[in-house]
Amino acid sequence: MKRLAIYCGSATPADPVYIDSARAVGRALAERGIGVVYGGGKLGLMGAVADGAIEAGGEVIGVIPTALVKAEAAHKGLTELHVVDTMHQRKQAFTDLSDGFVTIPGGTGTMDELWEAMSWAQLGYHTKPVGLLNVAGFYDHLIAFVAKMAEVGFMRPMHRDILLVADTLDALLGKMAAHTPVQAIIHMSSKDL
């Protein structure tokens, strides 16, 4: 993996574990020679990921919609900053520029990005690994919800492992490196659906 899209929040929660872990993710990826593709902001976890990678000499590519350049206070110290017109173009750029996706804590925008990466993998629009770093148990309920979707039958058995989950970045990167693409819906017959 040469580059990973990092999905995370632009907020700064009161508990420093979130900012500290975001900075550590950026730094660790840079130390491994893995470039960061992210939302282009300098605030919150976004800024911490970028700063961590930059401080470690890594490549950092930001992708930000025009409307959010000021609102998210675009980071000016990146390797590249792509300004796009829409959120859809932003997510498409994340997919085009990266070899996989890592979600760390964030809010509704982060969830939008994660769900789209999972949905596109399920459909067969990409075959890249989709990772979730469960920092301080932040995603415990989401992990349970994904399991419930599979249990009830809203997620096919062959798609249960689209979301790769770990509590540490090393473990997550290991799972992502061993990733095998799932059988995509676009390659299934109607009897399998």
Give the domains, in start order, of the chain with CATH numbers. 3-192 (3.40.50.450)
Report the share of the chain in percent with pLDDT over 90.
84
CA dihedral 75→77→82→87, nearest 10 degrees, is: -20
What value does the mean pLDDT take over residues 102-130?
95
Residue 69 has a pLDDT of 87
Residue 181 has a pLDDT of 83
When comparing pLDDT for 125 and 140, which is higher?
Answer: 140
Residue 185 has a pLDDT of 62
Residue 63 has a pLDDT of 97
Residue 189: pLDDT band by 50, 70, 90 thresholds? low
Residue 71 has a pLDDT of 76
Distance between CA atoms of residues 152 and 150, nearest Å: 6
Distance between CA atoms of residues 132 and 104, nearest Å: 6
Structure tokens at 115: 């769900």
Indicate whether 36 pLDDT > 90: yes
What value does the mean pLDDT take over residues 111-126?
94
Strand, coil or helix: 83: strand
Q: What's the pTM value of the predicted model, to 2 decimals?
A: 0.93
**Average pLDDT along the chain:** 93
When comparing pLDDT for 70 and 68, which is higher?
Answer: 68
The neighbouring-strand residues paired with 82 are 63
Residue 158 has a pLDDT of 80
Please name the residue that has the structure tokens 């550590």: 24
DSSP state of 24: H
Structure tokens at 116: 């789209």
Structure tokens at 13: 């929660």
